[in-house]
Structure 1
């Protein structure tokens, strides 16, 4: 695993030890950033179920100002912190060791908004629709932002959740699919 592009291009990242997390492969990561825009002029990223922190770190390397990383596993938090040290992004990051829903509630209360939101929950416990409803209802996404949902290929995510509209679906294998959401120009 490595940073694919941007100011920390080529930096190797550690994976979370054990089999409790499934890191997004470099090939999938490169493809999804080509879809959402290869580089960013600022903005914040939210990496829910962050695992090693690879997606949030990639967003920082490509120009995001700040990233929030959320994971409830101690080994994942330690790995994220080590990867932030290696990439020298500690000052550009906030790390929450807690359940993703609790973290979302705190972020909603604080009034935060994100240009990029990555959701990659364990495939056996997918909660995308609930989280998309929370994101939409509480304006966690900026007007020009994108929500990236990695999910099992057998799962079918809704075409629309409030103003959030599915703009693209990219299937990478029989196991991995990514759905992309942004605000629609009109509400149905």
Structure 2
């Protein structure tokens, strides 16, 4: 895996061996960023199930200013730290080593871009988006990007957000919510 575009384009990304994380493939990540960007003029990104950190690092590479990455799995945290070091801009990243639901209690918004890619067996997107809205952690022009199994049917609206775009890539579905 590698960073696809932007300041870090072409740099390799480390991923965790085994099945504890499910990194978004280069192809899906590229398509996802073409849906939502593909480039940004500043802003903050929140990745609540960071895995290897690839989505947040790609967002910073493409112009976001700050990323908050949340990951509970210790081996995945070590991979994220290595991937952040590869950027040589560690000050743009914050890694919270905790459960996503706990992170919602401690992070400070607003966030312009949110990635939700929970483990497929534990779909918590509706509850998480609702909590993000209730806690006022989202910017007015926020995009919430959800990656799920293609079989998962998310509601047209969650809290005050509605589906803007939705596409299937192989076994994955990417759903983007906006206000």
CA distance in 1, matches of 2:164, 2:38: 17
Is residue 114–residue 141 contact of structure 1 (8 Å, CA) maintained in 2? yes
8 Å CA contact retained: 1:42, 1:63: yes
Structure 1 spans left out of the alignment, 5+ residues: 184-188
- 1:89 deviation in Å? 2.7
Cα distance in 2 between the residues matched to 1:114 and 1:90: 19
Q: Matched residues in 1 for 2:18 and 2:90: separation?
A: 24
CA offset digits 1:1-53 (Å, max 9, x no partner): 11110011100010013221110000000001011011111100011110100
Instruction: Provide TM-score, normalisation by structure 2.
Output: 0.97
Asked if residue 181 in structure 1 is aligned to residue 173 in structure 2, the reply is no
In 2, the alpha carbon distance for the partners of 1:177 and 1:103 equals 25
The alignment status of 1:63 with 2:63, answered yes or no, reads yes
CA distance in 2, matches of 1:43, 1:104: 19
1:37-81: CA deviations, max 9, x gaps?
111111000111101000000000001110001010001110000
1:144 aligns with 2:146: no
Deviations 1:102-123 (A, max 9, x none): 001112xx3x111110000000
1:114 alignment partner in structure 2: 111
Answer yes or no: is the 8 Å Cα contact 1:171–1:178 preserved in 2.
yes
**Structure 2, gaps ≥5 residues long:** none
Equivalent in the alignment of 2:2: 2
Map residues 72-87 of structure 1 onto 2, 5 A cutoff: 72-87=72-87
For residues 46 and 2 of structure 1, the distance between their equivalents in structure 2, rounded to whole angstroms, comes to 20
Q: Aligned-residue CA RMSD in angstroms?
A: 0.9
Name the residue aligned to 2:13.
13
Say how many residue pairs are matched: 179
Aligned equivalent of 2:165: 168
Bigger CA drift: 137-146 or 48-57? Answer: 137-146
Partner of 2:40: 40
